[in-house]
Structure formats: structure tokens, C-alpha cells
Copies of this chain bind each other. A is one copy, B any other.
Amino acid sequence: MYLYVFSGKASMLCTTLITDLDLMQLSHLLTPQAQQMESSLVRELLQYSQQPDILSLAGGLPDETLMPPLPDLAPVTSFAQYGPSEGEPALRQQISHIISERGLSVESSQVLVTNGSQQGLDLISRLVLNPGDVVLTEQPTYLAALQVFQLQGAVVKTVESDETGMNPEALKAAIEQYNPKAVYLIPNFQNPAGHCYSVARREAIAEIIDAHNILLVEDDPYRDLYYDDVVITPIASLLNAAPWVYMGSFSKVLWPGLRVGYVSASPSVMPFLVKIKQASDLHTNRLGQSLVSTFIAEGKLPAHLEVIRSSYKGKRDVMAAALERELGDCMTIHAPKGGMFFWLALPEDVSSKQILHDALEQKVLVLPGTPFFPTREAYTDGFLRLSFARLSHADIEKSITVLASVIRSHIG
């Protein structure tokens, strides 16, 4: 048995494997959670994804050709010494402006800079989740969030969701049934399903969370990548009573390799988060923070976001048209209003693993939807996640043509 060491975007990049022997030698020492972190079929994909002749729809990486050059380092001087755990004051101020412009009014004292929003998720999990505690999520949801929750030994319970978000009635019932600590939501252009919550859903969900006084964990890394008219008011801004955390990232729009993201939170939550951040790694690297801060201070972010949106919108449209043309007669294609992914529900009785296998023989790599399902229900083998961010228009066309022929060959 090999358990593949695997986490979302990093899935293409990690080659360290766990063997039975490793586990046997250490089982008396490791925590049960560390021993049981999820395996994944994505291990099989790794060896293919790096080959130059493979067209990959599987990854979650942004298009590096759109990443801007680094600002001049000359004005950046204060990177060398240890820094504040909360983050660089100038960047915290800028982030508080950005979040406030989204409709969630926060002070810079409510901003904690993290090593990407993945760390924000981890800090929050450590704040509220001990072994056996329950967290509610959408179904499907971001797989690296599941890893974090599992590392804490938490129990993940899912709530029925569709393209306008989590079902409020189902949420209410789940809260009453499971007494959860937190609800984890990705309201905008979710990874993997691409959904975007309606305004009515946002309001209904905020009301339920307020009434039950549990923690809202709102993850919003894709919000700058919108391609259509949408209202994407943060759900946290609609709360009146319940505590909340709101996570964002520069990784989808600037330089993910610098690891600069952020958490904002209701004032009572902040000091606890900062304390856990300090214990985790003292503070986020100051050079990355200064470079992001300088880019923002130079006023370059808005125009840069336009460039990215324009490029990704074009790719989304090409993929949507190709899918519709090739598969529209036998499948319903939902084009996402933002983000980086199509979420494809396969025709009945078609298995995503079979598609993966057969498409790979024709040099096209796709990602089965299974690892995004916290609970292993029967229908989870019927989805694919397709990323359009890194391929050219021509390669999108080519890969969808191949994929469609493979899917058709499996329709009974």
C-alpha cells in the first residue's frame, strides 16, 4: 500500500510516499490523525502531469505567464530582522481597505497575514477543532480543507449544496443534528464545483449562523476572478452576532510562490488567531509581504486584475463552447461565473476513474472529483474537475475534443 502525500494545488509537485514499513515502525508514536490522513488516487496522476507531451486539465495552478515581475527591491529594507506576528503594518492596512471595499468593514487590527490562505485555514482549525469536533462543509468542497480538518481529528459533516450555494434548510437541520463548532463555506467560484451563492442564500445562511452562534469560516480566494455580473457580498458582512473568519489570498492573482495570504476575523477572535500563528512559525516572511505591499502601493493591482480576468474569461468561454459543442447533447454544462474550474457531472454510469484512465492514453490528464467529497457516497465517482487557467485556447479545444470522445465511448 502506498498512501500518496497529497494536497490540492501541491498535488502535482510532491513525491514523498508513505510505505507500510514507515507506518509499522512509527505507529506507536504517531497520532491517529497523522497516520490516517487521506490517501488519494491522485498519486497515479503525478507521474504523468510533469510530462511535456501531456495536456493537463487536472492541476489547480494559476497561469504563471500572467504573473507580474517583482517590484524593485530597493525601497524594501526592513525584511531582515524578525517581524511582527500579525504581519507588516502597511500590508495589513492595505488588506483592510481591500476587504472593506468588498463590503466587509474591518480595521487593520483585524487582519493577520498568513503563508497563503491555506495557513489561515489551518490556524482556524487549530483554534476550534479538537478530535471529535464537528465542522460542516459544502458537498463537494476544497480537498486541502478536508486534510486540515482531518489533521485536527475533526468530524466533517456535509450539507447539501447546488450552484447557488449551500441549502439553508439543510444547514439548519445539520446544525441542530450535529452541534458543529464551525461552518466552512467557499461562496464565490468554489473549488471544485464553481458555484456562486445567490444573494438570498447569503442572507438566509447568515441568519441561521447568527441564530446558532457558531463560527462562520468564509474562504474567498477566487473572488477577484469574476467574468460575469455577480453580487459577491461577503456572508460575514451580513452577520449581526456570530463570530466569523474571512480568508483571502494573493496567490491567485500575484505570486503564489511567495506565500502571502490573510485572515480577517471578528475582533474577539483575532488575539487567539495571532497566538496560534506565533506558536506555528512566529510570522510570515517579510520580503514577500513587502513585495505584495509595494505592488499595491504602486497602484498596479486594479489594472493587473483586469488583465487576468480578461485572459481567464477568454479561456473559460473557449472551454464552455467546446464542452457545449462536443457534449451538450448528453450532458448539462454549467459554465462557472468565475474562478478556474469547470465541474462536470458525467452521464449516468460513467466512472470518472475510467475516463481518467482512457483520456491519459490519449495524453489528456483530468482530475476525478472523488477527493473533493468529504463523505464517500456512491455518486461521487461521477464528476470531473477541469481547469482552464494554464492551457492555451488551442490546447483547451484539443483536450476537450479528446475528453469528449472518451466520454462518448463510455456512454452505454
Chain B residues closer than 8 Å to A14, beta-carbon distance? 84-86, 274, 278
Q: B258 touching A287 by the CB < 8 A rule?
A: yes
A22 touches B283 (CB 8 A): no
Indicate whether A288 reaches chain B with its CB closer than 8 angstroms: yes
> Closest CB-CB distance, A160 to chain B, in whole Å?
24
The answer to whether A85 and B128 touch across the interface, beta carbons within 8 angstroms, is no
Q: What chain B residues lie within 8 Å of A18 (beta carbons)?
A: 271-272, 275
**B residues within 8 A CB of A280?**
118-119, 122, 148, 280
Taking the closest CB of chain B, its distance from the CB of A10, in whole angstroms, is: 5
Question: Which of A31, A128, A282 has its CB near the most chain B CB atoms (within 10 A)?
Answer: A282
For A25, give the chain B residue with the smallest CB separation.
B268
A70 to chain B, nearest CB (A): 7
Determine the chain B residues whose CB is within 8 A of the CB of A37 once the complex forms.
275-276, 279
Alpha-carbon distance between A80 and B282 when the two chains are bound, in angstroms: 23
Q: Tell me the complex Cα distance, A129–B131, Å.
A: 12
Which of chain B's residues have a CB closer than 8 A to the CB of A5?
85, 271, 274-275, 278
Given contacts A73-B70, A116-B281, contact A81 B256 (CB under 8 A): yes
Chain B residues with CB below 8 A from A267, complex form: 22
**Residues of chain B within 8 A of A291, CB atoms compared:** 287
In the complex, A284 Cα to B286 Cα: how many Å? 13
* A389 → B minimal CB distance (Å): 12
Residue from B13, B128, B286 in contact with A30 in the complex, judged by beta carbons closer than 8 Å: B128
CB pair B22 A272 closer than 8 Å? yes
Binary flags per residue of A4-33, CB closer than 8 Å to B gives 1, else 0: 011111100111111101100110111111
Which residues of the other chain, B, contact A340 by a CB distance below 8 angstroms?
Answer: none
- Does A126 have its Cβ within 8 Å of any Cβ on chain B? yes
A352 interface hit (Cβ, 8 Å): no
CB of A379 to closest CB in B, whole Å: 27
Q: Given that A257-B83, A257-B285, A288-B285 are contacting pairs, would A272 and B34 also be in contact in the complex, using a CB cutoff of 8 Å?
A: yes
**Chain B residues with Cβ under 8 A from A115's Cβ?**
115, 281-282, 284-285
- The answer to whether B86 touches A67 (Cβ under 8 A) is no
Contact status of A122 and B257, CB under 8 A, knowing A16-B270, A26-B268 = no
Q: Which of A66-110 contact B (CB under 8 A)?
A: 67, 70, 73, 78-86, 109
Q: CB distance B255 to A79 under 8 Å?
A: yes
Within 8 A of B (CB), among A239-287: 243, 251, 255-260, 267-272, 274-276, 278-287
A14 to chain B, nearest CB (A): 5
Q: With the chains together, A70 CA to B278 CA distance in Å?
A: 25
Q: Which of B17, B151, B215, B259 contacts A281 (CB 8 A)?
A: B259
Q: How far is the CA of A218 from the CA of B115 in the complex (A)?
A: 25
CA distance A62 to B278 in the complex (A): 18
Q: Which B residues are in CB contact (< 8 Å) with A122?
A: 279-281
A296 at interface by CB-CB < 8 Å: no
Q: Verify if A182 is at the interface (C-beta below 8 Å from B).
A: yes
> A198 interface residue, CB < 8 Å from B?
no
Assess whether A31 is in contact with B85, with CB atoms less than 8 Å apart: no
**Contacts A64-B80, A258-B286 hold; do A147 and B279 have CB atoms under 8 A apart?**
yes
Q: List 17 A-B contacts (CB under 8 A).
A: A6-B278, A7-B278, A10-B85, A10-B282, A14-B86, A16-B271, A18-B271, A22-B272, A28-B213, A31-B127, A35-B272, A37-B275, A70-B79, A118-B279, A148-B279, A259-B284, A285-B287
Known: A10-B283, A81-B256. 16 other contacts (CB 8 A): A6-B278, A10-B278, A13-B85, A16-B274, A29-B181, A29-B214, A31-B128, A31-B130, A32-B130, A34-B126, A67-B81, A79-B255, A115-B115, A115-B282, A118-B282, A260-B285
Of all A-B residue pairs in the complex, the 8 with the closest CB atoms, nearest first, are: A7-B278, A257-B286, A119-B281, A115-B281, A18-B271, A22-B268, A259-B285, A147-B279
